[in-house]
């Protein structure tokens, strides 16, 4: 489901540059009708976005791994997502060398990420999850989970039947 809903901005759609409020994505205007950057947003060339994505200041650090964001994604200001890590275990120097190790980040449909959240490389956030403001996500977050803290831990779950009813009725913000 998620894979079908994602656009590839580098390969699938026409090569026209969209620049709006410091957002730089290779895309065509017709194919991306619901991207809303409301503040400085910097995405890497390996970023794949679904429909109805809303950024209030999201920055992707690292260009090695992919960032896949599903439909109806919303973020607060100051969100940082890492898509690679330093080579510290098998490097040629310490504390790390000049090589980076790419790690994909997958964020499924209908995820809301609060203000000043950091998402580390290699993380998978499940459908319908909510990440509390100020959190640092260092491990995967399951579907429907509400997580927060440093490190982010699941402390609650959405009302799944209510969520599924809203989804079935196509009531998206």
Domains in the chain, CATH or no CATH each: 2-168 (2.160.10.10)
**Confidence at residue 56, expressed as pLDDT on a 0 to 100 scale:** 84
Cβ atoms of 67 and 44 closer than 8 Å: yes
Give Dmax (Cα) for the chain. 55
- Residues in the chain where the model's pLDDT stays below 70: 1-39
**Confidence at residue 37, expressed as pLDDT on a 0 to 100 scale:** 59
C-alpha span between 102 and 132 (Å, rounded): 26
- The 10s digit of each residue's pLDDT in 13-48 is 222 223 333 334 433 333 444 566 566 788 888 888
**Confidence at residue 36, expressed as pLDDT on a 0 to 100 scale:** 63
**Confidence at residue 44, expressed as pLDDT on a 0 to 100 scale:** 84
pTM over 0.85: no
φ/ψ (deg, to 5) at 101:
-110, 115
**Confidence at residue 7, expressed as pLDDT on a 0 to 100 scale:** 41
**Confidence at residue 80, expressed as pLDDT on a 0 to 100 scale:** 95
- Strand 35-37, strand 53-55: pairing: parallel
Q: Which helix (H) or strand (E) element contains residue 118?
A: strand 118-119
């Amino acid at each position: 489901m998620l894979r079908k809903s994602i656009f590839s901005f580098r390969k699938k759609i026409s090569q026209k540059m969209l620049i709006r409020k410091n957002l730089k994505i290779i895309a065509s205007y017709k194919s991306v009708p619901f991207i809303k950057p409301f503040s400085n947003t910097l995405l890497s060339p390996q970023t794949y976005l679904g429909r109805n994505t809303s950024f209030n200041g999201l920055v992707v650090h690292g260009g090695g791994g992919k960032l896949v964001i599903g439909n109806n994604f919303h973020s607060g200001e100051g969100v940082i997502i890492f898509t690679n890590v330093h080579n510290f275990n098998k490097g040629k120097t310490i504390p790390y060398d000049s090589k980076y190790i790419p790690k994909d980040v997958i964020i499924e449909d209908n995820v809301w990420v609060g203000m000043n959240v950091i998402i580390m490389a290699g993380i998978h956030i499940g459908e319908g999850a909510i990440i509390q403001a100020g959190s640092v996500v260092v491990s995967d977050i399951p579907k429907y989970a509400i997580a927060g803290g440093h490190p982010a831990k699941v402390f609650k779950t959405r009302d799944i039947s209510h969520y599924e009813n809203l989804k079935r009725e196509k009531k998206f913000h």
